[in-house]
Homo-oligomer: A and B are copies of this chain.
Amino acid sequence: MSVVTIQRKVLEKNDEVASVNRRYFAERKMFVINMVSSPGSGKTSILECTLEHLKSGLKIAVIEGDVQTDLDAQRVARFGVPVAQIVTNGGCHLEAKLVNDALSSLQLSDTQLLVIENVGNLVCPANYDLGEAMKVVVASTTEGDDKPLKYPGMFHKASVLLVNKIDLVPYVNCSPDRLKKNALQINPTLKIFETSCTTKQGIPEWCDWLKSEVVKQLRA
């Protein structure tokens, strides 16, 4: 039995549980996004801005995935939304089973939007479906504009790209246009927003769009 076979079986098993999760979300008309990025791209800050902007109009819950610590869950809990922390203890990605386990620990009645913040890793989480409606990849301008070409898997799997820390462009060696062009070369269907959690640029546009997707799901 080769390692490749084992890996395929792991992914098949994950896909089965992801289907269970997806059914669970559909029955409750819950819109679910899976936020992915490199460490430190600003997933948690984007999430904080999103909660600030949308929590009065939508029922939101959060699942935090981290290799270690519950620092992010503490940040999110300040917004008064239900939050569950998954600590992977060295694991490099969330799996559908971990999310399924977390669901039972959350108060999800009437939740309309569930945000899953994945482990900071631009490679491995691309292969693990959690049952989400879409993956949202956050790429910071500080990481440079070549990342979509160098880590194509994640940009291929994502539906939305947030080009974050757009306020830092004057100080870093990154062309947002080239970053977007590189991303669209990998995935021409990507929906793209330029965002900054410092200046709040792009946050209303991103939140309004996200809310419209949640509403679509509720009416489906």
Interface residues of A (CB under 8 A from B): 1, 3, 6, 10, 38-41, 66-69, 71-72, 90-92, 119-124, 140, 142-144, 146-147, 149-153, 165, 167-168, 171-172
Contact = CB atoms under 8 A, between A and B. Distances in A.
Given A6-B6, A120-B150, 15 more contacts: A1-B1, A38-B39, A40-B147, A67-B150, A67-B152, A67-B153, A68-B149, A68-B151, A69-B146, A71-B146, A92-B92, A92-B123, A92-B124, A123-B124, A168-B171
A152 B92 contact: no
A6 B91 CA distance: 15
A16 to B, nearest CB: 15
A84 to B, nearest CB: 17
Contact of A123 (B119, B146, B172): B119
A152 B90 CA distance: 8
Given A92-B124, A120-B38, A122-B39, A66 B150 contact: yes
24 contacts: A3-B6, A6-B6, A38-B120, A39-B147, A39-B151, A40-B142, A67-B151, A69-B146, A69-B149, A71-B150, A72-B150, A90-B153, A91-B123, A92-B92, A92-B121, A92-B123, A119-B123, A120-B150, A123-B124, A124-B124, A140-B142, A142-B142, A142-B172, A168-B171
Contacts of A151: 39, 67-68, 120
A124 B146 CA distance: 21
Nearest to A66: B150
Contacts of A172: 142, 168
A152 to B, nearest CB: 5
